Amino acid sequence: MRTFDIYHHPIRGYAVVTRGFSWLDFVFPGAWLLVRRCWSIGAGMLAANVAIGEIARRADAGGENTTWLLALVLSLAMAAVCGVQGSRWRVRSLVARGYDHRGTVSAASPDAALAALVRGTPTATGMPLGAAA
């Protein structure tokens, strides 16, 4: 069972956010954030990855082979930050666009979590992701 935060917008409907590490944010750091409409953070991550790649390419042309290792480490570090923070960034984006937190549910899938909340029988409730305790 995973934990999901469920948000609702009066026009756009429901959005379900999985708590915890996001593998899609890790594997596709900037692109997945853009898909999830986290525009500024996603664009920043894409720009940083392009800049790291360009610096490594230019340094490699100069014969500094160790720069690729540094570029790899920096890219992996950025991907790890995206994987850890991606869900929180998505929640901030949803709230900024007018979504309200409706509940926190433990379920096997996002669809099951939404169904449990709509039925009125969530298996767990709690604070929204990123809320101050």
pLDDT truncated to tens, each residue of the chain (133 aa)? 889 999 999 999 999 999 999 898 899 888 888 888 888 888 999 999 889 888 877 777 666 667 778 888 888 999 999 999 989 999 999 999 999 999 898 889 989 888 888 887 655 555 555 554 4
pLDDT at position 55, please?
81
Domain count across the chain: 1
The reply to whether 94 falls in a domain is yes
pTM score, two decimals? 0.77
The reply to whether 20 falls in a domain is yes
pLDDT at position 37, please?
86
DSSP structural state of residue 128: P
The reply to whether 133 falls in a domain is no
The reply to whether 126 falls in a domain is no
Domain of 77, in residue numbers: 2-119
The reply to whether 29 falls in a domain is yes
Over its C-alpha atoms, the chain yields an Rg (Å, rounded) of 18
Do 78 and 72 touch, CB atoms closer than 8 A?
A: no
The reply to whether 81 falls in a domain is yes
